[in-house]
Structure 1
Amino acid sequence: MKKKSTALFLVLLLAMSTFLAACGGGEKKESGEGDKTTSKNKNVLNLTTTQDIPSMDASIATDAVSFEVLNNTMEGLYRLGENDQAVEGIAQGEPTISEDGKTWTFKLRDAKWSNGDPVTAHDFVYSWRRALNPDTAAEYAYIMYDIKNAQAVNEKKMKPEELGVKALDEKTLEVQLENPVPYFKELTAFGTFMPLNEKFVTEQGEKFGIEADTTLYNGPFTLSEWKQEDKYVMKKNPEYWDAETVKLEEIHTKVVKDVQAEVNLFESGDADRIILASEFVDKYKDREEFFTFDQASTFFLRLNQTSNEVLKNVDARKAIAMGFDKTGVTDVILNNGSKPADYFVPANFVKGPDGKDFRETAGTYLQTDIKKAQKHWKAAKKALGQDQITLELLTYDDDTSKKLAEYLKEQLETNLEGLTVNIKLQPFKQKLELETNMDYDFSIGGWGPDYLDPMTFLDMFVTGGAHNQQGYSNPEYDKLIKEAKTTLIMEPEKRWDNLVKAEKILLEEDAAIAPIYQRSRAYLQRTNVKGILLHNAGGDYSYKWAEIQ
């Protein structure tokens, strides 16, 4: 999913991400025992974020901020527990799967919406049809293409009623797939697959999902307060089927864009957990409240090949991709365990049929190499007939994103003669919209997995893909991805080989994007705060099992 890219010159990446939809290998993290500082309110968890929620509409959401809140206020057939394994949600028990692996039948438990209405199989049918209906314009519709007729529905070749999903009765949902999908159960935990109450959505109309009281909830918490660009509050949902497990009464999240202000809130006891900016890591790394978490999220430069003539040139793209120091980003700017990324599919994410991590099998691409970058840049300028080139770098408006952009500007202008980089800062939601409309030159983006397979990274760049927001197109790449999704789905070795080849085309041959780093985060968290799950797939955090002891 889209991740919010936040980093800085001598300041750590600290925000939720872009859009990053939208997530592999989560784990429960707890800091040590014994510090004297405790939460001011026993059953209230106080958090910070650098960006407001773009949308609470599960069909429309594309970013990590939205998906984190949806993950805690909504629930699909399953949700992700420890180690990102699917645990029971609205579905009760294991699904029944046909011998050919294409028909899945789910039995639903007795669950309620926050207004008291029962959650039924019809709520899933309605939600999934709505997400695929082209009138909804859901960017994440493609994630449902494994369902029979889903792509045809999304492309207006079939009616939503022809989608391969039906309510056999109020508590039985049948799903037909185009091909067997081994990870389909985990996929149903993702935000786009969450149910929606048709009557409520219809009543709210265009207001649905844009305010706390114009959204309906069926998860552990409800969004009880939402002040745009200020704060939002989640409260325990008394109608939740597993409310006995939920210990927290409220979760308060304050929008804070200044890194010093976040530390001040933690020190004063007004924040129970913060993502720690880089200049504070050395100061706090020996504290019991300090810990780091390695994520399967990759941050990169999007290079718009639709509207920018310079970036249509492959030499120009390769020059930018190899023309800045990634180690300076990770070791100096971030200082939080993040690693330089000479790849797109992250390391330590998933293993192939041979038991090896994807990165062990795949190569490395577009490493920092200033001399090669300068050769490519010279070739690009000659082909373009330009000696002086100006590009606009799009990023977010918080302090940390601004400083990362300034670092990249300095590196690229120094190493690529004749290049001028102008920085454009935008609020989180507006930045995502500019990328969707491809109204930019190049931008800082991030992507975290939506499910545990390399496909969640690679299929976003197929021709015309909703998240291919830069106009990249390569027929051979498209062919490899399509085969990996269809004809090779039951031939894991050949499928894996296709995915490795696809990444090589994306980066080594075409430099469609410019990888920067694989993210790690440094945290300060009260030692009496327990049970928060950190995920690498779907929403970044689960608070269902959290408590303040």
Structure 2
Amino acid sequence: MKRNKLLLLLALSLILSAVLAACGGKDTNNTNRGNNATGQNEGNGEPDAEQVLNLIEGAAIPSVDSAIVEDQVGFNVLNNVNEGLYRLNLDNVAEPAMAAEEAEVSEDGLTYTFTLRDANWSDGTPVTAHDFVFAWQRAIDPDTGSPYGPFMMSGVLKNATAISEGKMDKSELGVVAEDDKTLVVTLERPVPYFLSLMSFGTFYPQKEEFVKAKGDAYATNSDNLLYNGPFILTEWDGTGDSWVYKKNEHYWDADTVKLETINVDVVKDAATAVKLYNDGKKDRAGVSGDLALQYAGHAEAVHQPQTSIFFMKFNQEKDGKQTPLANINIRKAIAKSFQKEDLADVVLANGSSAANFIVPKDFAFDENGNDFRDINGDLLVYDADEAKDYWQKGLDELGVTELELEILGGDSELSKKMDEYFKAQLEGNLKGLKIKLKEVPFAVRLELEGRQDYDIEVSGWGPDFQDPISFLDLFVTNGTNNLMSYSNPEYDALIAASKAELALDPAARYEAFAKAEKLLLEEDAAIAPIYQKGLIQLQKPYFKDLGVHPFGADYSYKWAYISGKNK
């Protein structure tokens, strides 16, 4: 995205609302369905009740236009009413969806040929390769103003960068429909995670004739959309706080879909959500803070690890001048001066865990199935004594005896508690440091970050695809999501190599990522990791086989069903 992904922003709002669920799950080789610490109620028994589900979302739908969507609610809706070439299954493996079979890949890894299956839109007309060409060209076209098109396609699809910058026509994008059933995609460089991208909402098809006929009305309500996924969207007026999913009888795999109706209401208050759940009006609700402590041991509590990482951003330049955070010893002092375990266990109390890394646990795995985290282990860990030493060195280098720094945070009750915790820890461990707290609404935070008008910001990131670069690419020099003036040529070179000469060498590529993460954290302390997000959800035991995904959209309802409700 040009300034910051709203996946990040919605991840940040998880601090503000326990109702808005973010990504979760384990690795692609393990089930994510068991009724255990990582998943949901595993399917057992047959559907034996009315297949109607009642759910909660934490925010209204901003858009369901795949070229425009930039938030987690929108991507979640898209994932359930539309479908791309691939779809994440219940085990979080990307498998052919609109594609009839696995893609044919050229030896150099630059050309992917997809054969489409027989599938229809909700109006009964066929989904064709031309629908993908139209949608992708529309997403990369600067006139569309897509936030994710350039972000996801630049440097990936051939000519995408030049098109997004207005230097080439969108017709030059590396995607061609050879006929109605054959789609050929040419890449700018080998992309090891490309098939994972094909499950992401930005790469969904759109029917050109329908989009152009609707004009400005396209995707403004449920009647001005076409669907090729498991469900259709109904009773959405474009602004309201409720909507309904209905089973899509035109879906190619409709026999798999058991749910007939899903009723969704926006509930922003966690206590209200839990009351609705306890009253039997909702089948799932999130809890955090005091509610999480209260319900953590509840028989219907599901502890859901997630892959969002939260961290402090240290802004090194403001108004064209270096800030005190440009000093590496000041950064290291702050990064090592707060106790993360207590923050996760006591302040957040929602299943989150301390993070001493930027690439999360249980997310990225090598060709042998080994977790990337096992390569580097913990980095930049809490150590109050070391923090004091770094702090004194930094003050001496700056020629001062005290500093005042501001933490930019949210204005919710939980965000304020977290920021107060940081203030107490930092001021208590670093003599001469005064922390001011700036607690503002979410939109204001986004604006301030975009202008780099802050000292320290508590930020976060949730991945769009399953690869360490989804996190590490954030911090390259002048990157659109850097926004803190961090620059290390060695770091940049490692990330660049992972996209070029190392792209087809998985082992060497992971070694480069490991070196880059150590540079970012252990050597430069460019950011200070805080925690890996966790989530506690209350979920009715009769709600089976919810697909929970560690990247991209949060949930899939394609396989979900109700069994045992009336027992």
TM-score, normalised via structure 1 length: 0.87
Q: CA deviation at 1:437?
A: 5.4
Mapped partners of 2:199, 2:50: distance in 1: 30
Structure 1 residues 163-172 or 208-217, which shifts more?
Answer: 208-217
State the partner residue of 1:168: 178
Q: In the alignment, is the contact (CA less than 8 A) between 1:51 and 1:229 conserved in 2?
A: no
Could you tell me which of 12, 34, 53 is aligned with 1:5?
A: 12
> Structure 1 residue aligned with 2:286, among 258, 265, 275?
275
Deviation at 1:508, TM superposition (A): 1.8
Whether 2:404 is the aligned partner of 1:389: answer yes
The 1:204/1:468 distance shift into structure 2, 3 A limit, reads farther
**Counterpart in the other structure of 1:547:** 561
* Residues 523-548 of structure 1: CA deviation (Å, up to 9, x unaligned): 21111111101110211111111112
What is the CA distance between 1:515 and its match in structure 2? 0.9
Corresponding residue SS for 1:252: strand
Give the Cα separation in 2 of the matches to 1:488 and 1:331.
39
Aligned to 1:27: 32
Q: Distance in 2 between matches of 1:7 and 1:112?
A: 36
Residues in 2 aligned to 1:329 and 1:140: alpha-carbon distance in whole angstroms: 36
**Contact residue 29 and residue 534 of structure 1 kept, 8 A:** no
CA-to-partner distance for each residue in 1:15-66, whole Å, 9 max, x for gaps?
A: 334xx89x95471244679xxxxx9x93332222333334433233333333
Alpha-carbon distance, 1:348 to partner: 2.4
- Secondary structure in structure 1 of the residue aligned to 2:318: coil
Write the deviation string for residues 416-468 of structure 1: whole angstroms up to 9, x where unpaired: 433232232324x6655654555554433322222222122212222333333
CA distance in 2 between partners of 1:212 and 1:472 (Å): 43
- 116, 140, 146: which is aligned to 2:156? 146
Q: Deviations over 1:137-186 (max 9, x none)?
A: 52452332222222333344433222211011122100112333343222
- Equivalent pair of 1:394/1:441 in contact (CA under 8 Å): no
Correspondence list, 1:157-236, <5 A: 157-203=167-213, 208-209=218-219, 211-224=221-234, 225=236, 228=239, 230-236=241-247
User: In the alignment, which residue of structure 2 is the partner of 1:243?
Assistant: 254
Shifted more, 365-374 versus 453-462: the winner is 365-374
C-alpha displacement of 1:100: 3.0
- How do 1:69-108 residues align onto structure 2 when only pairs under 5 Å count? 69-108=77-116
Residue in 1 aligned with 2:3? none
The aligned residue for residue 4 of structure 2 is none
2-side partners of 1:129 and 1:303: how far apart?
A: 37
Q: Which moved more, 1:53-62 or 1:74-83?
A: 53-62
**Residue 273 of structure 1: how far off its partner (Å):** 0.7
Q: Which residue of 2 aligns with 1:419?
A: 434
Residue 321 of structure 1 pairs with residue 335 of structure 2: yes
Does residue 1:43 correspond to 2:51, yes or no? yes
What's the offset of the Cα at 1:12?
9.1
- The CA deviation at 1:211 is 4.4
Q: 1:425 to 1:365 in 2, by over 3 A?
A: same
CA 1:487/1:193 → structure 2, altered by over 3 Å: closer, same or farther? Answer: same
Q: 1:305 to 1:154 in 2, by over 3 A?
A: farther
1:15 maps to: 20
Q: Secondary structure at the match of 2:525?
A: coil
Residues in 1 aligned to 2:228 and 2:282: alpha-carbon distance in whole angstroms = 27
Q: Deviations over 1:263-308 (max 9, x none)?
A: 1111001110112224234543444322212222212223334537
**Percent identity among equivalent residues?**
44
- 1:263/1:274 contact within 8 Å kept: yes
Q: 1:447 and 1:534, CA in 2 relative to 1: closer, same or farther beyond 3 A?
A: same
> Residue type matched to 1:233 in 2?
V
The alignment partner of 2:21 has SS state of: coil
Match of 2:533 in 1: 519
Aligned pairs for 1:113-512 (under 5 A) are 113-135=121-143, 136-139=145-148, 141-144=150-153, 145-203=155-213, 208-209=218-219, 211-224=221-234, 225=236, 228=239, 230-307=241-318, 309-353=323-367, 355-380=369-394, 383=398, 387-395=402-410, 397-416=411-430, 417-427=432-442, 431-432=445-446, 435-436=449-450, 438=452, 440-512=454-526
The SS at the match of 1:27 is: coil
Partners of 1:108 and 1:120 within 8 A in 2: yes
Cα distance between partner residues in 2 of 1:413 and 1:359: 31
**1:493–1:435 Cα change, 3 Å:** same
Question: Structure 1: where are the runs of 5+ without partners?
Answer: 34-38
Distance, in Å, in 2 between the alignment partners of 1:166 and 1:105 is 10
TM-aligned CA distance change 1:352 to 1:420, over 3 Å: same
What secondary structure does 1:16 align onto?
Answer: coil
CA pair 32-351 structure 1, distance change in 2 beyond 3 A? closer
CA distance in 2, matches of 1:205, 1:431: 33
Residue identity opposite 1:481 in structure 2: I
State the TM-score, normalized to the length of structure 2: 0.85
Where in structure 2 are there 5+ consecutive unaligned residues? 1-6
Query: Partner of 1:84: helix, strand, or coil?
Result: coil
In structure 2, the partner of 1:36 is none
SS in 1 for 2:385: helix
Report deviation, 1:487.
0.8
Counterpart residue type for residue 178 of structure 1:
E
Within 2, Cα distance between the matches of 1:65 and 1:105? 31
> Against the structure 1 CA distance between its residues 68 and 231, is the aligned structure 2 distance closer, same or farther, given a 3 Å change threshold?
same
Q: Which amino acid aligns with 2:380?
A: L
SS at 2:511's partner residue? helix
1:401/1:415 CA distance change after superposition, 3 Å: same
Q: Which moved more, 1:238-247 or 1:77-86?
A: 238-247
Counterpart CA distance in 1 for 2:13 and 2:126 is 41
The structural deviation recorded for 1:204 is 5.1
Relative distance call for 1:363 and 1:287 in structure 2 (3 A) is closer
Q: Which residue of 2 aligns with 1:58?
A: 66
Q: Work out whether residues 24 and 451 of structure 1, in 8 Å CA contact, stay in contact via their aligned partners in 2.
A: no
Q: Higher mean Cα deviation, 484-493 or 145-154?
A: 145-154
How far did 1:363 drift? 4.0
Specify the SS of the correspondent of 2:91. helix
* Farther-moved stretch of structure 1 (267-276 vs 201-210): 201-210
Aligned length: 536
Change (3 A) 1:47 1:478: same
Q: Could you tell me whether the CA contact under 8 Å between 1:338 and 1:517 is conserved in 2? A: yes
